[in-house]
């Protein structure tokens, strides 16, 4: 089951990201993973939250334009070539990776987590291909516990 990522459009000016994180902190929402990209005038904060629907709702109420996007999450052992193995599986399945980011979980770090945005409506296909090759696909609930 695909993970829901929140994408928030932010004006590229000092304090805007702080305002967003303040809204989440006030509501006790934990960001589990975060990616930030920018252009001259705006940025996009993409993140996974422990309570995705509450996060999207409180951000909207605070005036932040945001959207939910399905992404695929995997757990990759901290071994040489771990990411390469995942990318090879997706390539063999003819699934394009539009973007990705990684994060570490709590406790001992024997693995990392990667979040992939794959081609539109390809999440289930990607998850099936990865599982078939023994790669651990993580769910929204798994991410919330990391």
The CATH number that applies at residue 95 is: 3.30.70.260
**DSSP class of residue 62?**
T
Q: Which of 69, 96, 114 is the last residue of a domain?
A: 69
Q: What residues make up the domain containing 49?
A: 3-69
Helix, strand, coil shares, percent, the chain, to 5: 35, 40, 30
Average pLDDT over the chain, rounded to whole? 90
Average pLDDT over residues 60-80: 92
Do 108 and 133 belong to one domain?
yes
Low-confidence winner among 2-11, 38-47, 119-128 (lowest mean pLDDT) = 38-47
What's the rounded Cα separation, in Å, for the pair 39 and 102? Answer: 21
Q: Which of 69, 99, 117 is the last residue of a domain?
A: 69
Q: Give the pLDDT score at 144.
A: 72
* Region at 134 (left for phi over 0; alpha for psi -120 to 50; beta for the rest): left
* Region at 83 (left for phi over 0; alpha for psi -120 to 50; beta for the rest): alpha
CA nearest 48: which of 88, 96, 87, 105? 105
Q: Is residue 109's pLDDT more than 80? A: no
Q: What proportion of the chain, given as a percentage, has pLDDT over 70? A: 96
Q: Which of 18, 49, 69 is the last residue of a domain?
A: 69
Q: Give the pLDDT score at 107.
A: 56
Average pLDDT over residues 73-102: 92
Do 9 and 60 belong to one domain?
yes
Q: Between residues 14 and 1, which one has the greater pLDDT?
A: 14
Please write the tens of the pLDDT for every residue from 124-134: 999 999 999 99
Please write the tens of the pLDDT for every residue from 28-39: 999 999 999 987
């Amino acid at each position: 089951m695909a993970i829901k990522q929140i994408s928030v459009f932010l004006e590229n000016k000092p304090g805007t990201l702080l305002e967003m994180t303040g809204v989440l902190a006030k509501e006790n929402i934990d960001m589990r993973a975060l990616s930030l990209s920018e252009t001259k005038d705006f940025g996009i904060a993409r993140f996974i939250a422990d309570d995705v629907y509450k996060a999207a709702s409180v951000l909207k109420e605070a005036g932040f334009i945001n959207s939910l996007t399905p992404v695929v999450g995997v757990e990759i052992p901290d071994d040489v070539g771990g990411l390469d193995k995942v990318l090879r599986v997706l390539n063999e399945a003819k699934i394009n990776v539009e973007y990705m980011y990684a994060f570490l979980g709590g406790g001992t770090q024997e693995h990392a987590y990667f979040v992939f945005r794959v081609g539109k409506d390809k999440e289930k296909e990607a998850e099936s291909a990865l599982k078939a090759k023994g790669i651990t696909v993580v769910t929204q609930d798994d991410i919330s516990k990391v």
